[in-house]
Chain A
Amino acid sequence: MFDFNLANCLTLSVIVFLVGCYGLLTRRSLVMILLSIEVVLNGVNFSLISFNHFLWGTREFGHYLYMLSIGVAAAEAAIGLGMAIVFFRNYRDISRERASRLSEGES
């Protein structure tokens, strides 16, 4: 159906990115927003590897960048989820409306 070429790979990457963005903007729970960010990152990593395969033939810089990317993603997920836990501990509610009202103080 689809040819295995750079254009299609990049299209896939963009579509996954957009799907993740949709989840990022729409989900109500903070943890789910973080999950959507992982979807976005997944799409981006995909583009890195496909670039490397199709364009940068000799050395695997794209793979290296991919490793950086997942390293950062791991750290970011850890910290983000940690914050979500602390948030939940304080407010017993993990919704983004509650987070938006953070500046208003307790409850």
Chain B
Amino acid sequence: MPPVALALLPVFPAATALILALFGRRFNHTLVGLVACVGVALSFLVGVGFVSSVSGGAESTYVLGSWLSTNVVSASLALRLDSVAFAMVMLVSGFGFLITLYSIGYMHDDSEVARFFASLNLFVASMLILVLADNLLLIFLGWEGVGVCSYLLIGHYWKDQAVPLAAYRAFFTNRIGDLLFLLGVAFLFAHFGTFEMHAIATKAAGLSAESVDGNSLAAWGALLILGGAFAKSAQAPLHVWLPDAMAGPTPVSALIHAATMVTAGVYLVARLSPLYALFPQIRGVIYICALLTLVIGAVLAVVQFDIKKILAYSTLSNLGLMFLALAADSPGAARLHLFGHAAFKALLFLGAGSVILAAHHEQDVRKLAGVLKHLPITRAAFWIGCIGGVGLVPFLAAGFFSKEMVLEAVAESPLTLGSLVVSGETLKWIITAVEVLSAVYMFRLLGYLESNVPGEAAKGRHGHAPHEDSLTVKLVLGILCVVGLGFGFISAPASFGGSGSGFFAMINGGEQMPEGPSFLHALPAAIVALIVSTLTFRVFSNASKRKALLRRLANFPQSSGGPLATKFFFDVVYEAALFAPLRALGRFCASVVESVAEGGFELLGGAGQVGSALLRRVMNGKIQHYAAVLLAAVFLMLLLLPGR
């Protein structure tokens, strides 16, 4: 495949986005969906054609032209495809295609499909630019693009009052990250003299950790870019937007907030991992934030009643896990979990979408109890997804090996931040303990959905039970079930006798897969997980046992203003420390401007009136007056302009 075809990858979905944006309203819904699918499918097919160009460590570069070229700064519009980018392109376009296909069924009775699909396509195009970009400025283009599309798609149901606020939240948090990102890019450029990521990575790899000053420009640059990645990938303290982003349609949550956009931060930091390898202190910061995110996500997921919120907090927790791998200087494990998480989380979100669709947009799990009985394919999706999400059994669970790899990496890399030092082993136990919670929330969800006593939604409407209507929904769920099952096989490390090294090498640019934990090593955790999962499932799927448990928990002193209900006080703190002062400042400025402007304009207007009153006397209609003025002017000229 010639390098110029790299440019086609983002162009196809962008073109269909444009077509849909301009003319989509006149098409019927199916046509809109088909056009959108074609755009992404073309991208996927062209991407597949590149598989030979990236084998064996080769890469394909296509330079569109020079973007900036001054004496000091130069950047070009260049797209670069190595095997890492290739894997991401396959992920984005493949999942993008499947989810677009799914959306044809999911959004069939929506009134604004054209805008939806146009935004979705634009998102795919932006994400492809992000992944293919060779330099940090071009990545920023894609970065911003996905942020905008996320805003557009979250705000799809804009008529609901709470929805635009959620969309703003996502966008503003991203904006803060963007600011930090740009500053970071500037600092890195100042230190390394280039915007190209692989050049920076190579240069950083050539340095040793002792030789670099912790206060240098490179360090600050790395820290600031981290801020950007945190905002995009919803790490604490910039994580607050992700649960609210569930206000968008479910396919959006599956694509953007599970598989692709939120992984952009992981992708970026992984690309720059040689840089971060130089600064253990910065990695200490990543450790702390990622741990926070991991814990917050897991704990809050346990107490949610909205099906999408449960999955959202689960995503938060898994993103924390990915960043923990990055903090442990193991981009390989991070990327592996990125793909694994995409496999099972997309499946779960799309399954949730199917449930929501069948239950006429009911999202409360208490009302959705027992609904899976009527939805066979969705049931399969949920079982595969939950088992995969918890990583219960090797080979069949998508998340098993990826989580194990992360834990192994963490075990070898201690947290050092200033004088705080936590050994890797300790960290590994902390994370394992939190991961037990993942078993709890996953199987709590599954328990509700498989409950023996049907809830309101499961009883159906008008006499007939909920059922799976849409062809595309079922088709995509089926495909993703296979993917979810298969991922376990292609990600298995050598210690388990698997052939995962091929896949690992591809997604990590030829890096060798580490040995992996031995079977005995992984056994205790697996057994604990199995026990907890089974227990949770049995309690929650049995309506009477569930009610008994909840009654006992209700006796627990727990005020509604407590940490669980207020999402660990993050919102309150942000409101008090940031938003309320900003609003007050805005009001103050507005009042100043009003009084100054009004006063100023009054003054100007008054002056104008006085002046015109004076001048008005010249125009009195009397001829001799005009003649006199004329003559006076002539005389003045004659007297005052001698010698010219």
Contacts and interface: CB of A to CB of B under 8 A. Distances in A.
A and B touching (Cβ–Cβ under 8 A): yes
B623 A100 contact: yes
Interface string A28-61: 0000010000000000000000000000000000
B631 A33 contact: no
A89 B622 CA distance: 21
A21 interface: yes
- Interface size range of chain A in the complex: 10 to 19
A25 B628 contact: yes
A68 interface: no
A102 interface: yes
Contacts of B621: 100-103
Contact of B624 (A96, A101, A102, A103): A96
Interface in A86-107: 96, 99-103
B627 interface: yes
Contacts of A100: 620-623
B631 A24 contact: yes
A101 B621 CA distance: 7
B291 to A, nearest CB: 86
A25 B627 contact: yes
Interface string B134-166: 000000000000000000000000000000000
Contacts of B631: 21, 24-25
B48 to A, nearest CB: 84
A51 to B, nearest CB: 15
B630 to A, nearest CB: 9
Contacts, number: 22
B618 to A, nearest CB: 14
A21, A26, A33, A102: most-surrounded residue (chain B CB, <10 A): A21
Nearest to B628: A25
Contacts of B624: 24-26, 96
Contact of A33 (B620, B622, B623, B628): B623
A24 B627 contact: yes
- Interface size range of chain B in the complex: under 10
A28 B623 CA distance: 10
Nearest to B623: A96
A90 to B, nearest CB: 16
Contacts of B628: 25
A102 B620 CA distance: 11
Interface string B63-74: 000000000000
Interface in B479-506: none
A33 B625 CA distance: 13
Interface in B590-623: 620-623
A106 B567 CA distance: 84
Contacts of A96: 622-624
A31 to B, nearest CB: 13
Nearest to B621: A100
Contacts of A99: 623
A25 B621 CA distance: 14
Contacts of A26: 624
A2 B620 CA distance: 44
A84 to B, nearest CB: 12
A102 B623 CA distance: 10
Interface in A3-40: 21, 24-26, 33
A26 B621 CA distance: 16
Contacts of B622: 96, 100
A101 B622 CA distance: 8
B598 to A, nearest CB: 37
Nearest to B631: A21
A102 B622 CA distance: 10
A32 B620 CA distance: 22
A24 B624 CA distance: 8
Nearest to B638: A14
A33 B630 CA distance: 14
A101 B620 CA distance: 10
A103 B622 CA distance: 10
A99 B620 CA distance: 12
A99 B623 CA distance: 7
B621 to A, nearest CB: 5
Interface string B105-116: 000000000000
A25 B629 CA distance: 10
A101 B623 CA distance: 10
Contacts of B620: 100
A25 B622 CA distance: 11
B622, B624, B631: most-surrounded residue (chain A CB, <10 A): B624
A43 to B, nearest CB: 13
A59 B365 CA distance: 110
Contacts of A25: 624, 627-628, 631
Nearest to B630: A24
A40 to B, nearest CB: 9
Nearest to A24: B627
Contacts of A101: 621
A33 B624 CA distance: 9
A33 B621 CA distance: 16
Contacts of A102: 621
Contacts of B627: 24-25, 33
A62 to B, nearest CB: 19
A26 B623 CA distance: 10
A93 B627 CA distance: 20
A30 B317 CA distance: 97
Contacts of A103: 621
Nearest to A30: B623
20 contacts: A21-B631, A24-B624, A24-B627, A24-B631, A25-B624, A25-B627, A25-B631, A26-B624, A33-B627, A96-B622, A96-B623, A96-B624, A99-B623, A100-B620, A100-B621, A100-B622, A100-B623, A101-B621, A102-B621, A103-B621
Given A25-B627, A26-B624, A100-B621, 15 more contacts: A21-B631, A24-B624, A24-B627, A24-B631, A25-B628, A33-B623, A96-B622, A96-B623, A96-B624, A99-B623, A100-B620, A100-B622, A100-B623, A101-B621, A103-B621
* The 6 residue pairs across chains A and B that have the minimum distance between CB atoms: A100-B622, A96-B623, A100-B621, A25-B624, A99-B623, A21-B631
